């Protein structure tokens, strides 16, 4: 009886190991797999506390990169609320995840405004700004697009910025791994983030 | 004593009549209204479901609020991975139907706040429809990371 029981336990353990191995080699991603299609995370910018940061500052964390601007009252908040919800559902694992909100409107997005904006959504969201050139380079690196629209007379000098809505996901080593969109569900993002957090933890 | 009270009652009745006679349509209702608060006097967005219980299409042409210098009807669009926001001059609400002003679609863009607005506040909004119909609605202000009034 006890031998049979041990056998069963051994089999179960072996099965579990095999499942883990299979998962590790071929994760069933729910977001778009971008491995090998986009370059590693690389930038030199200023965070929303006014400190200089590079990709190395976030090494060891799973990073979600999103381009937006603070005078964006609808779509940017919608995306940041999605990510805030996902971080909440991740629980303690969220400590290993950072959301980087890169402004495409550095003229209006001062460091203090950027700080107030991102922290209103979640303390684990960092705002990044930089020179027009640094932002343009980072956007180009990930084929992200942005274009300030001309201000109209009726908008009293206010202008909108058309921008890519994708969320780029990097692993702890800074390798580009996945691509999410505002259409991706919280559960899809959560599912894939859990796998990335487990990898290399 | 009785006389002024009578006058008061008459005045009240008159006011009530005057209010009822104002161009407010009983056939349009606003539900689930809310505003996503943003810091630093940044433009915010207002959302609601507008229900038309009348037999004719209603055309929303604008909105105003004493709490914001400017209120505009906007539409966010996601086209080929790009997100863009544009001004719209009207929005039709079909007879016995409704339209949703919701995140990622139609919304009221609220800018130039006339005073400090914070979560927990209530903003008075007047929706304006073609033909002069006006509807006043209360929009509660929710935190930036709220998902809607059900929170």
Residue B83 pLDDT level (bands cut at 50, 70, 90): confident
Contact (CB<8Å) B82/A163: yes
Closest CB from A121, A158, A165 relative to B78: A165
Range from A39-53, A144-158, B16-30, B60-74 carrying the lowest mean pLDDT = B16-30
Domain of B114, in residue numbers: 26-142
* Closest chain A CA to residue B78: A165
CB pair distance less than 8 Å for B82 and A85: no
Condensed to tens digits (0 to 9), the pLDDT of residues A93-103 reads 999 999 999 99
Mean pLDDT to the nearest integer, B50-77: 95
Residue B12 lies in a domain: no
Q: Give me the interface pTM, i.e. the ipTM.
A: 0.82
Inter-chain contact B45–A182, Cβ cutoff 8 Å?
A: no
Q: Which residue of A has its CA nearest to B84?
A: A162
pLDDT band of residue B84 (cuts 50, 70, 90) is confident
Contact A75 B43 (CB under 8 A): no
pLDDT tens, A91-135?
999 999 999 999 999 999 999 999 999 999 999 999 999 999 999
Q: Which residues contact A45 (CB under 8 A, 6 or more apart)?
A: A52, A53, A54, A102, A128, A129, A130, A134, A135, A138
Q: Residue B86 has what pLDDT? A: 82
Give me the pLDDT at residue A131, please: 96
Place of tokens 């179960």: A12
Mutate to test the interface with B, among A73, A79, A182 (most CBs of B within 10 A): A73
**Are B81 and A181 an interchain contact pair (Cβ–Cβ within 8 Å)?**
yes
As for how many domains chain B has, the answer is 1
What is the mean predicted confidence (pLDDT) over B25-38? 92
Yes or no: domain A31-198 corresponds to CATH 3.40.50.1100: no
Which pLDDT does position A182 carry in this prediction?
79
Residues B24-37, mean pLDDT to the nearest whole number? 89
Mean pLDDT, to the nearest integer, of B128-132?
95
According to DSSP, residue B23 is labeled S
**CATH number, residue B127:** 2.60.40.1890
According to the model, what pLDDT value does residue A14 have? Answer: 52
Neighboring chain A residues of B83 at a CB cutoff of 8 Å: 75, 162-165, 182
User: Quick one: CA torsion of B113, B116, B119, B124, rounded to 10 degrees?
Assistant: -50
Start-to-end CA span in chain B (Å): 50
Query: Residue B83 forms beta bridges with which residues?
Result: A163, B78
**Between A and B, how many residue pairs show a Cβ–Cβ distance under 8 A?**
97
- In this complex, do A117 and B42 lie within 8 Å of one another by their Cβ atoms? yes
pLDDT at residue B25, as a whole number:
58
Closest-CA residue of B relative to A179 is B81
| pLDDT tops 60 at residue A199 | yes
Q: Does any domain span residue B114?
A: yes
pLDDT at A134: 96
A6 — pLDDT class (breaks 50, 70, 90): low
A47-71 burial code (b ≥16 CB/10 A, e <16): bbeeeebebebbeebbbbbbbbbbb
pLDDT tens digits, A7-41 = 445 545 554 544 544 445 568 999 999 999 999 99
B85 pLDDT tier (thresholds 50, 70, 90) = confident
> Please, what is the average pLDDT of chain A?
88
Contact B42 A112 (CB under 8 A): no
Per the structure block, which two tokens stand in for A172? 């702890």
Which residues in chain B are contacts of A149 at CB distance < 8 A? 84
In a domain, B8, yes or no: no
Chain A interface residues facing chain B, Cβ-Cβ under 8 Å? 70-75, 77-78, 80-81, 84-85, 112-113, 116-117, 120-122, 145, 149, 152, 154-156, 158, 160, 162-166, 181-183
Mean pLDDT on B56-66 = 97
Pairwise pLDDT comparison (A89 vs A163), residue with the higher score: A89
How close A15 gets to chain B, by Cα (Å)? 41
Mean pLDDT of B82-106: 92
A39 Cα to chain B: minimum distance (Å) = 19
Distance CA A190, CA A198 (A): 12
> pTM for the full model?
0.83
- Is B58's pLDDT higher than 90? yes
In this predicted structure, the answer to whether residue B22 has a pLDDT above a threshold of 50 is: no
Residue A25 has a pLDDT of 57
């Amino acid at each position: 009886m006890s031998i049979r029981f041990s056998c069963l336990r051994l089999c179960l353990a072996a099965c579990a190991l095999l499942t883990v191995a299979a998962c590790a080699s071929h994760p069933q991603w729910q977001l778009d797999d971008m491995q090998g299609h986009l370059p590693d995370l690389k930038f030199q910018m200023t965070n929303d506390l006014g400190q200089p940061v590079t990709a190395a500052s976030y090494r060891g964390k799973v990073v979600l990169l999103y381009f937006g601007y603070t005078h964006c009252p609808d779509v940017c908040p919608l995306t940041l609320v999605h990510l805030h919800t996902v971080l909440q559902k991740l629980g303690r694992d969220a400590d290993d995840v950072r959301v980087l909100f890169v402004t495409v409107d550095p003229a209006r997005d001062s460091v203090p405004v950027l700080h107030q904006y991102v922290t209103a959504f979640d303390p684990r969201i960092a705002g990044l700004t930089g020179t027009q050139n640094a932002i343009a380079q980072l956007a180009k690196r990930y084929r992200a697009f942005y274009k300030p629209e001309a201000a109209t007379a009726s908008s009293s000098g206010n202008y909108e910025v058309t921008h890519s809505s994708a969320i780029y996901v990097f692993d702890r080593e800074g390798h580009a791994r996945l691509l999410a969109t505002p259409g991706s569900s919280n559960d899809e993002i959560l599912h894939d983030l859990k796998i990335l957090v487990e990898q290399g933890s | 004593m009785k006389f002024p009270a009578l006058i008061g009652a008459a005045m009240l009745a008159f006011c009530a009549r005057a209010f009822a006679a104002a161009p407010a349509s009983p056939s349009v209702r606003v539900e689930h209204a809310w505003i996503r608060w943003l810091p630093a006097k940044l433009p915010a967005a207002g959302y609601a479901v507008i229900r038309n219980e009348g037999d004719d299409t209603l055309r929303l042409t604008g909105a105003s609020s004493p709490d914001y210098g400017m209120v505009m009807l906007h539409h966010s669009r996601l086209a080929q991975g790009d997100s863009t926001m544009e001004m719209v001059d009207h929005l039709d609400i079909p007879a016995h139907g409704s339209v949703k002003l919701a995140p990622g679609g139609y919304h009221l863009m609220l800018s130039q706040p006339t005073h400090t607005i914070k979560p927990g506040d209530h903003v008075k909004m007047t929706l304006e429809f073609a033909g002069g119909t006006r509807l006043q609605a209360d929009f509660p202000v929710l935190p930036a990371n709220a998902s809607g009034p059900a929170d």
